[in-house]
């Protein structure tokens, strides 16, 4: 939610800021702005709408001279998307400028106090109080003003700040919102996320809560809230520079779907050794694994759906009871945890506010937390007791595809490992399962190569009003993710239903021609879901069936069938999701939607 960038160096700042913002647009895109010191004063341009409006207004940055600046792309929380509410925000004389990611929770009180002191507000944002409060505290020493500000603020923030009378410096500070800084050959950068700086440097510093950075052309210094200088170690990011570019694909989502075979392989292969699964980063002894009494999988969005699937995998294979929780519910429901509980937090970004808060809640109670995270060095990765990385690389499209697929793989590996250590599966069974696992990338490729067929089918449903997805067990979990994919990028109302629940209400919504996608990958549930398929078909539904090759019986009752290759019953999600992702993608582009940046959504949800 919201992306911030900053640059100070030898080059013209504005084009670098705009380029950085283009990499962060997934964090919010209802308005954008930049402020640059032009040698005399701070010059600011901001506008409602996508970044391209700002690019046009500034001629891709060319009309903003100066080598130091900050920028912002917004996902509105306080105040509608508008020019006035867009960041940056200025103090009254225009000599202090701020960009912000996060929410200042006590801004109403601060605004009242500042208004009483004669400050006038030009926007409805919570951020503007920061510019005025800095103005109030500023006596020529930026660090002092910033630390005084920090003592007054409640909520979450990452700021980029410039002071006109310190034109050779940018300040950055963070609490509970992500922030990284890096130094490249031509200058220093700040950003909300790694893709924005990858082109310039792979060596970055992750800023911790309460830390302040002073960036200059030559380098940077770090301070704590007591204004004492501290030292920090950089982290080297292994991501390929081109990974955050479209690379010839029309959309990031399509590119990322096509990367799935590779990133799935990247996630399992380093962990397979001589017919065994080795997850060193798990940090658990075999005895500790045997002692696990209960698992909680806690996450948001699609990551939560991977937990829904893997509940069946962990319970089925390792016979460990699993609860899957939405992080936003878990954090407030006082869950029953004991020393035999292992909590797994699944998150692509590692910054989702609710998932992070859930993690902290668990840690406060002294319970072990394992993070399954994609972004190296992110908050969840740093704060979890142990972290198992998914090697999906940077994911830019708001709707996740490749990160989702790698989250499944990480959990399959854990489930098989736990099952083996607890004596629930034999070495022989494990080896057979690993063979199936290793075949997944090739099978995914085969499904992806079928995209034209799916596109033709999708084009028939561009005008659909409602679409239903049904399935049982893992197929229900697949339905949930497929339904989310479709609704979030195509704006078609869609629901996932456990097929057995249909008769308790949803079936009344089926009309002539309503599309129902039935997922039937689980052999033992095949006949049951088939009956539900027949029930909707009889009531006029058009049925799309997704099933395993050989199940030709479905053809009698389906209007359209997609076959997935045979695999282990626990891995079917990894294959069945591919055509359903493609379906959502083609409906979205067929309708002319902005598939990579769907309305109202942001990829990294850093506010609760």
Q: Which is nearer to ligand G6P, 378 or 547 (CB)?
A: 378
Q: How far apart are CA 74 and CA 99, in angstroms?
A: 10
The b-or-e profile of 498-520 (16+ CB within 10 A means b, else e) is bbbebeeebbebbeeebbbbbbb
Q: How far apart are CA 178 and CA 192, in angstroms?
A: 6
| Segment contacting ligand G6P by CB under 6 A, of 109-117, 472-480, 564-572, 597-605 | 597-605
Cβ of residue 309: shortest distance to ligand G6P, in angstroms?
Answer: 13
Q: Decide: is 177 part of the binding site for ligand G6P (CB under 6 A).
A: no
Q: Decide: is 300 part of the binding site for ligand G6P (CB under 6 A).
A: yes
Q: Decide: is 401 part of the binding site for ligand G6P (CB under 6 A).
A: no
Q: Which of 21, 35, 212, 398 binds ligand G6P (CB under 6 A)?
A: 398
Q: Are the C-beta atoms of 261 and 445 separated by less than 8 Å?
A: yes
Backbone angles phi, psi at 139, to 5 degrees: -125, 25
Q: How far apart are CA 181 and CA 111, in angstroms?
A: 30
Q: Decide: is 303 part of the binding site for ligand G6P (CB under 6 A).
A: yes
325-384: contacts with ligand G6P (CB under 6 A): 347-349, 352, 355
Q: Which is nearer to ligand G6P, 271 or 603 (CB)?
A: 603
Q: Which of 4, 153, 277, 605 binds ligand G6P (CB under 6 A)?
A: 605
Cβ of residue 118: shortest distance to ligand G6P, in angstroms?
Answer: 41
| Segment contacting ligand G6P by CB under 6 A, of 73-81, 131-139, 301-309, 359-367 | 301-309
Q: How far apart are CA 342 and CA 113, in angstroms?
A: 46
Q: Which residues are catalytic?
A: 2, 603
Q: Name beta bridge partners: 99.
A: 160
**Is the backbone of residue 543 left (phi > 0), alpha (psi -120 to 50) or beta?**
beta
Structure tokens that stand for 48 in this block: 């409602």
Q: Decide: is 393 part of the binding site for ligand G6P (CB under 6 A).
A: no
Q: Decide: is 467 part of the binding site for ligand G6P (CB under 6 A).
A: no
Cβ of residue 601: shortest distance to ligand G6P, in angstroms?
Answer: 6
Q: Are the C-beta atoms of 372 and 355 separated by less than 8 Å?
A: no
Backbone angles phi, psi at 265, to 5 degrees: -65, -45
Residue nearest to ligand G6P (CB): 301
Q: Which is nearer to ligand G6P, 198 or 345 (CB)?
A: 345
| Tokens 């109030």 sit on residue | 136
| Nearest residue to 481 via CA among 572, 354, 591 | 572
Backbone angles phi, psi at 260, to 5 degrees: -55, -45
| Segment contacting ligand G6P by CB under 6 A, of 63-71, 159-167, 522-530, 599-607 | 599-607
| Segment holding 355, helix H or strand E | helix 353-364
Report how many residues bind ligand G6P under the rule CB under 6 A.
Answer: 16
Structure tokens that stand for 205 in this block: 């510093």
DSSP string, 456-487: HHHHTTTT-SEEEEEESTHHHHHHHHHHHHHH
Quick note: the x/- pattern for ligand G6P over 545-584, rule CB under 6 A, is ----------------------------------------
Q: Decide: is 603 part of the binding site for ligand G6P (CB under 6 A).
A: yes
Q: Which of 147, 400, 406, 572 binds ligand G6P (CB under 6 A)?
A: 400
Q: How far apart are CA 252 and CA 138, in angstroms?
A: 44
| Segment contacting ligand G6P by CB under 6 A, of 5-13, 216-224, 297-305, 461-469 | 297-305
Contacts of 79 (CB under 8 A, 6+ apart): 85, 123, 124, 125
Q: How far apart are CA 69 and CA 287, in angstroms?
A: 54
Q: Which is nearer to ligand G6P, 4 or 300 (CB)?
A: 300
Q: How far apart are CA 440 and CA 567, in angstroms?
A: 8
| Segment contacting ligand G6P by CB under 6 A, of 382-390, 398-406, 463-471, 521-529 | 398-406
CA distances from 219 to 149, 355, 419, 574 (A): 24, 33, 50, 45
Q: Which is nearer to ligand G6P, 436 or 608 (CB)?
A: 608
Q: Which of 167, 178, 195, 301 binds ligand G6P (CB under 6 A)?
A: 301
Cβ of residue 388: shortest distance to ligand G6P, in angstroms?
Answer: 14
Q: Which is nearer to ligand G6P, 439 or 487 (CB)?
A: 487
Task: Name the site residues for ligand G6P (rule: CB under 6 A).
Answer: 300-303, 347-349, 352, 355, 398-400, 601, 603-605
């Amino acid at each position: 939610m919201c992306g911030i960038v900053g640059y100070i160096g030898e080059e013209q700042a504005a084009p670098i800021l705009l380029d950085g913002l283009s990499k962060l647009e997934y964090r919010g895109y209802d308005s954008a702005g930049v402020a640059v010191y032009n040698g005399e004063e701070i010059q600011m341009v901001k506008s409602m709408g996508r970044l391209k409006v700002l690019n046009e207004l500034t001629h891709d940055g060319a009309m903003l001279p100066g080598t130091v600046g900050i920028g912002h792309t917004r996902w509105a929380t306080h105040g509608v998307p508008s020019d006035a509410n867009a960041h940056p925000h200025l103090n009254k004389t225009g000599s202090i400028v701020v960009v912000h990611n996060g929410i200042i929770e006590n801004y109403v009180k601060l605004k009242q106090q500042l208004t009483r002191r004669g400050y006038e507000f030009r926007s409805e944002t919570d951020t503007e109080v920061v510019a005025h409060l800095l103005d109030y505290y500023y006596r020529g020493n930026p660090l002092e003003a910033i630390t005084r500000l920090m003592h007054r603020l409640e909520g979450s923030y990452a700021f980029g700040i410039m002071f006109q009378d310190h034109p050779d410096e940018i300040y950055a500070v963070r609490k509970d919102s992500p922030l990284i800084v890096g130094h490249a050959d031509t200058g220093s950068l700040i950003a909300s996320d790694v893709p924005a700086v990858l082109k310039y440097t792979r060596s970055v510093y992750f800023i911790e809560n309460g830390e302040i950075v002073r960036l200059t052309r030559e380098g940077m210094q770090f301070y704590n809230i007591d204004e004492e200088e501290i030292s920090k170690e950089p982290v080297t990011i292994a991501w390929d520079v081109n990974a955050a570019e479209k690379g010839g694909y029309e959309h990031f989502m399509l590119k990322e779907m096509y990367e799935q075979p590779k990133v799935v392989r990247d996630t399992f292969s380093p962990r397979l050794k001589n017919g065994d699964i080795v997850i060193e980063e798990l940090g658990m002894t075999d005895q500790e694994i045997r002692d696990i009494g209960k698992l909680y999988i806690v996450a948001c969005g699609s990551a939560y759906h991977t937990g829904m699937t893997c509940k069946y995998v962990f319970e089925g294979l390792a016979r460990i009871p699993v609860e899957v929780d939405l992080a936003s519910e878990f954090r407030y429901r006082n869950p029953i945890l004991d020393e035999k509980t292992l909590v797994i937090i699944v998150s692509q970004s590692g910054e989702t506010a609710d998932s992070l808060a859930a993690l902290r809640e668990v840690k406060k109670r002294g319970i072990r937390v394992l993070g399954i995270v994609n972004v190296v060095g992110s908050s969840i990765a740093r704060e979890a007791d142990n972290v198992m990385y998914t090697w999906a690389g940077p994911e830019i499209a708001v709707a996740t595809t490749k990160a989702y697929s790698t989250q499944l793989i990480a959990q399959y590996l854990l489930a098989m490992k736990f099952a083996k250590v607890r004596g629930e599966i034999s070495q022989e069974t494990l080896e057979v399962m690993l063979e199936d696992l290793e075949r997944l990338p090739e099978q995914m490729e085969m499904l992806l190569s079928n995209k034209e067929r799916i596109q033709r089918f999708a084009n028939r449903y561009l005008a659909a009003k409602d679409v239903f997805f049904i399935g049982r067990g893992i197929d229900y979990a697949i339905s949930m993710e497929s339904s989310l994919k479709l609704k979030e990028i195509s704006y078609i109302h869609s629901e996932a239903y456990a097929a057995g629940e249909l008769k308790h209400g949803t079936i009344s919504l089926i009309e002539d021609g309503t599309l129902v996608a039935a997922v039937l990958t689980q052999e033992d549930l095949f006949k049951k879901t088939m009956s539900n398929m027949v029930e909707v078909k009889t009531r006029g539904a058009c049925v799309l069936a997704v099933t395993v090759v050989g199940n030709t019986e479905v053809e009698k009752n389906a209007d359209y069938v997609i076959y997935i290759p045979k695999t282990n019953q626990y891995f079917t999600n990894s294959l069945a999701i591919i055509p359903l992702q493609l379906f959502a993608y083609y409906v979205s582009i067929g309708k002319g939607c902005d598939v990579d940046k769907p309305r109202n959504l942001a990829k990294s949800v850093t506010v609760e």
